[in-house]
Amino acid sequence: MSTRKPLVALLTGAGISTDSGIPDYRGPKGVWTQDPAAEKLATYDVYMADPEIRRRAWRVRQDTRVWQARPNAAHEAIVRLERAGVPVRVITQNVDGLHQLAGLPPRKVLELHGSARSVVCTACHERGPMTAALERVAAGEEDPRCRSCGGVLKAATVMFGQRLDPGVLADAVAIAKNSDIFVAVGTTLAVQPAASLAGLAAENGARLIIVNAEPTPYDALAAELIREPIGTALPALLAGLTPAAG
C-alpha cells in the first residue's frame, strides 16, 4: 500500500506579488502598459546593441520596487503548507525572489524566468549578486562590465529573445506531470512554455485549480476556478490542503 503524500505544485505569476507592491507587466497598471518603451529594456538584442538602453536598465534596476518588497499573505501561505509536511514545489514566472524570502527552501523553487537578484555575464556566464553590481552603478559606473572578462552584464533574468534554461524547464515539466494538485495562481497562462504546464498537469491526472482575476486559456481544464483576491483566496485554499494537527 502506497504511503506517498500528494504532491502540490504551484505555478505562480505576477499576480501573486502585486500585494507586495510589485506591479505586473501587462495589467491596467502594468509596467509595459504604462510605458511601452520599457519593454525594450527587457529585449536581449536591443539591450546588447544599445549602451543607452543598458544605462537606462541599470537606473531602473536601482529604483525597482523589488528591493523594498516583502512577501505577502499568499507567499506565506505556501510556506506554511510546506512546513506542515506537504510535498510542495513552486514553479514561478516571477523574478522577485519573494518565495525564498518568505522562507521556502530554494531547492523547492524553480525560477523559470530567472532572478532579478543576481547578475550574469553575457560572455563568460559568471554570476554574482545584483547588490554588488548596483553598488558599482551608485559609485558612478553607468554600464558596469564583468570584472572577469569585460563582457556585458545583465540581470540573471530571461529577456525577450532568450530561451528558458532547458534544465529548469525539464524539471518544471517533470513536476507538472507528477503533481497530484496543480495550482496556477496570479498568472494569465498566456506566456509559453510556462502556461502549457497547467495543461500538462491536468492531462496527467492532476486536479487543476486556477486562482486568477481574469479568465485564462486553460479554464476549461480546471476542476476549480477561483476569482477572489489572491491575498485571501490562496491562504484559504491552501489551509484546506494542510493536514490537521494532532
Does the active-site annotation cover 113?
yes
Choose the catalytic residue: 75, 99, 113, 125.
113
User: Which among 16, 67, 25, 29 has a CA at the least distance from the CA of 159?
Assistant: 25
Q: How far is Cα 235 from Cα 221, in angstroms, rounded to an integer?
A: 23
What amino acid occupies position 120? V
Residue with C-alpha cell 499568499?
74
DSSP state at residue 43: B
Q: How far is Cα 149 from Cα 151, in angstroms, rounded to an integer?
A: 6
Buried b (16+ CB within 10 A) or exposed e, 127-141: ebebeebbebbeeee
Q: How far is Cα 179 from Cα 202, in angstroms, rounded to an integer?
A: 9
Q: Within 10 A of 7 (CB to CB), how many other CB atoms are there? A: 16
Cite the active site residues. 113
